[in-house]
A and B are shown apart, each in its own frame.
Chain A
Amino acid sequence: MAQDDIRMIGQLAMIELHESEQDELAQGIKQMLQYMQHMSDVDLSDVEPTTHALADGLVLRSDTVHYDEDVREALLKEAPERNGSFITIGKVLT
Chain B
Amino acid sequence: MSELFPAVWKQITSSPRHLKCYEQAVAALDTDTCAFLELRTDLGVSLAEPAVKEYGSLSGIPFAVKDNIAVKGFQFSCGSQILAGLRSPYTATAVERLLHAGAVPIGKTNLDEFGMGSSNQNSACKPTVNPWDLSRVPGGSSGGSAAAVSAGYVPFALGSDTGGSVRQPAAFCGIFGFKPTYGTVSRYGLAAYASSLETIGFMTAQAEQLIPIFEAASGADGRDQTSLDCSDTTDLTEGIQTVAVLAGDLGLDAPVLRGYSKAIEAFRSLGWNIVEVKLPSLDYAVPSYYTIASAEASANLARYTGVRYGSRSREEHDHQHMVRRTRDEGFGKEVKLRILLGTYVLREGFQDQYYVQAQKIRTLIRNEFSKLFTKAGVLLLPTFPIQAFPIGDGGLTSMQQKLADRFTLPANLAGLPAVSFPTGIESGLPVGMQLMGPAMSDRSLIRLTAHVSRCFPEVALPRRFSPGEVTHG
Contacts and interface: CB of A to CB of B under 8 A. Distances in A.
Interface of A: 6, 9-10, 12-18, 21, 24-25, 28-29, 31-33, 35-42, 44, 47-54, 56, 59, 61, 71, 74-75, 77-81, 87, 89-92, 94
A56 B399 contact: no
B192 to A, nearest CB: 14
B86 A21 contact: no
Contact of A44 (B298, B324, B361): B361
B306 to A, nearest CB: 6
Cβ-closest 7 pairs across A and B: A53-B415, A49-B359, A74-B89, A16-B324, A80-B312, A78-B309, A50-B362
A23 to B, nearest CB: 12
29 contacts: A9-B344, A13-B339, A14-B302, A14-B324, A14-B327, A16-B321, A16-B328, A25-B337, A28-B398, A33-B344, A37-B287, A39-B284, A39-B288, A49-B360, A50-B366, A52-B226, A53-B362, A53-B412, A53-B414, A54-B181, A71-B89, A75-B89, A78-B89, A80-B309, A80-B310, A80-B311, A90-B316, A90-B321, A92-B319
B331 interface: yes
B336 A17 contact: yes
A78 B327 contact: no
B318 A94 contact: yes
Given A54-B182, A80-B310, A36 B290 contact: yes
Q: Which of A12, A42, A53, A75 has the most CB of B within 10 A?
A: A53
Contacts of A12: 343, 347
A79 B302 contact: no
Given A25-B337, A80-B311, A42 B284 contact: yes
Contact of B287 (A15, A38, A56): A38
B363 interface: yes
Contacts of A36: 287, 290-291, 345, 354, 358
A75 B318 contact: no
Nearest to B311: A80
A10, A18, A36, A44: residue with the most chain B Cβ atoms closer than 10 Å: A36
Contact of B340 (A9, A18, A53, A61): A9
A79 B309 contact: yes
B241 to A, nearest CB: 26
A90 B318 contact: yes
Query: Chain B at the A interface: mostly helix, strand, loop or mixed?
Result: helix
A71 B318 CA distance: 29
Nearest to B305: A14
Contacts of A78: 86-87, 89, 308-310
Given A17-B336, A32-B341, A40-B353, A90 B322 contact: yes
Interface string B115-145: 0000000000000000000000000000000
Contact of B343 (A9, A37, A52): A9
A39 B339 contact: no
A24 B334 CA distance: 11
Contacts of B337: 25, 28-29, 32
B300 interface: no
Interface in B439-454: 439
Given A15-B336, A33-B341, A53-B413, A90 B287 contact: no
Given A21-B333, A42-B281, 13 more contacts: A12-B343, A14-B323, A15-B331, A36-B287, A39-B287, A49-B360, A51-B196, A54-B439, A61-B225, A87-B307, A91-B319, A92-B320, A94-B317
